[in-house]
Amino acid sequence: MSLSLPGPSQAGLFKAGYQSHDAEDGAVIRNIEACQAISQTVQTSLGPYGRNKIVINHLQKMILTSDAATILRELDVVHPAAKLLVMASQQQDAEMGDGTNMVIVFAGELLKKAEELIRMGLKTSDITSGYEKAQNFALKALEDLEVDRLKEMRSVPELSKALRTVVASKQSGTEDILAGLVAEAVLAVLPKNPLNFNVDNVRVVKIMGGSLEQSRVVKGMVFGREPDGIVKQARRAKVGVFSCPIDVSQTETKGTVLLHNAQEMVDYTKGEEDRLEAAIKELYDSGLRVVVAGSTVGDLAMHYLNRFNILVIKILSKFELRRLCRVVGATPLARLGAPMPDEMGQVDVVETTEIGGDRVTVFRQEDANAVTRTATIVLRGATQNHLEDVERAIDDGVNVVKAITKDPRLVPGAGATEIQLVERISAFADKTPGLPQYAIRKYAEAFEVIPRTLAESAGLDATEVLSRLYTAHHRRATEESSGEEEEGSSSEEEEPYWTTGVDLEASTPSGTLDTVEEGILDLMATKSWAIRLASESARTVLSVDQIIVARQAGGPKPPGPNPNWDED
């Protein structure tokens, strides 16, 4: 961004301290450079072999991840044009839960190609017009690239097929274990109508120690603490949830009690004890055997709860309390007293188990075939950072299931779809008259960045792999078209010709593989949203010709501590 002050034409128009960046002083080029800088930051993290970043946020917390959404959320981006790209990736995260990196990388490449066209002399209006035509054509072409679709949502192998690639892009090597865990947890909570699936019903609890293979799915909720009383388990019990403290009630106003002798003091405390005992007995008489407290539990109240054999567990997070209410079907109460029958919940088993030295409490339903309201994935791992990164991969997998319920179509992964779009959009550019054809051709070339980055991060020769991909796609397309001429029509059972992608594990000499055979498939809806959001954010950045920055509110910042305070 230029730091020039408003010129003579704007003298007296704005208050002192405003900054204006104009098209004449190269604002568009500088915006593109800022967007490219953020694109290059996350580009190396694309794909299964993407590099991790260590981000230390404003609270000095260290985050180790290759997830673009997390990296950009923790970085405080201030450049207005770069913020547009970050917002597009956040929208992708909200809609699909995956593909955030593709949005940033593809938008950055589109802007890089646009810069070449601007330097050639094209106007930004011609470029945005060409990009819009190319985007509409790309989305139509993507519809034709379907190679498979999920036929049965309620099958673990079938669901894992769509989840493997999503999880592999974050946690390469453990995708089979994690995809199986996510599929099992999702199917445990999947309602009769899959469109009503709520991603919040799959929870993750991280317990350090052990290895990832020891992770498992629990039907119900797991809390990382044990009950507070002496009762540690209950079966087929009624549950009461209280958001108020379970203790002697405090009066709102201060009062003074004058005690004349020891007997009066004993009677005074005895009255309090009797009232609290009556309250706990009332809970017991109503049938409650499990009490969940959202606030403190007093020592005296704990004594009476233990005497009545009532299990007590404190859950201080109001979000976890709300989820537990959904699991057991209870209503949280703001008063200490016996709940009405419809305010109580029901749970089959509450038990305390030990997982890797940590005592945890499990609320679960016994019926193995019933759809539970919440499933919890208990994750095991060596370090906290690793567990948090695995949790992000699982979070992406669960969000993708939500997208699958709306659109189950799959397209080839490993860069095969992108190479095919390059071929088709380039052919479309050849048929387009006028200046926009240059922009359409550059739009097609921008798709190359995905397979190129995948090859580079896997340590392959990107130029050689790309040339082999182009050859494979072009040759098979030519063979198919000549075969159609000979036979008159092509049979639907024939394998599509656009499934050749980058072989990241270098298991073949050519560096390419058939993505359908290997099961490397991406969700069409994710690709479609990523292309749409990246194209629109790139067009928005190109159509900006002036940035006016107002002066920040507030006075000068207070002076910081003097680092040389101990010097004479």
Report pLDDT digits (tens) over 275-317.
Answer: 777 888 888 888 888 888 877 777 777 887 888 888 888 888 8
Question: How far, rounded to the nearest angstrom, does the alpha carbon of residue 258 sit from its chain's CA centroid?
Answer: 61
**Looking at residue 164, which CATH number applies to its domain?**
3.30.260.10
Whether 500 is in a domain gets the answer: no
pLDDT beyond 80 at 411: yes
* Domain extent for 181: 152-219+381-407
Q: Are residues 130 and 185 in the same domain?
A: no
pLDDT of 485 > 50? The answer is no
* Domain endpoint, select from 343, 371, 399: 371
Which of 216, 237, 205, 239 has its CA nearest to residue 349? 237
The answer on 466 and 399 residing in a single domain is no
Comparing CA positions, the residue from 500, 460, 458 lying closest to residue 479 is 500
Give yes or no: residues 50 and 112 share one domain: yes
* 21 against 246, higher pLDDT: 246
Distances (CA, A) of 54 to 70, 156, 310, 507, 548: 11, 34, 47, 31, 33
Query: What values do phi and psi take at 362, rounded to 5?
Result: -115, 125
Distance (Å, whole) CA 522 – CA 409: 9
**196 and 236 both lie in a single domain:** no
**One domain, residues 357 and 448:** no
Quote the strand ranges of 186-287, DSSP E. Answer: 202-208, 216-223, 234-242
Inside any domain, residue 466 = yes
If asked whether residues 130 and 170 sit together in one domain, one would say no
Q: Could you tell me if residue 561 is inside a domain?
A: no
Q: What is the tens place of the pLDDT at every residue in 308-353? A: 888 888 888 878 888 888 777 788 888 777 778 778 888 878 888 7
Q: Say whether both 43 and 119 belong to one domain.
A: yes
On whether both 165 and 238 belong to a single domain, the answer is: no
Q: Classify residue 115: in a domain, yes or no.
A: yes
Q: How many domains does the chain have?
A: 3
Place of tokens 């088709």: 424
Lowest mean pLDDT among 166-180, 221-235, 467-481: 467-481
Torsion of CA 434, 439, 443, 444, to 10 degrees: 40
Same domain, 245 and 108: no
Confidence check: pLDDT of 494 > 60 = no
115 shares a domain with 36: yes
The pLDDT score that the predictor gives to residue 475 is 65
pLDDT band at 486 (very low <50, low <70, confident <90, very high): very low
* Rounded CA separation 519/96 (Å): 21
Average pLDDT over residues 6-11: 52
**Domain harbouring 323, CATH code:** 3.50.7.10
User: Which residue type does 46 have?
Assistant: L
394, 426: one domain: no
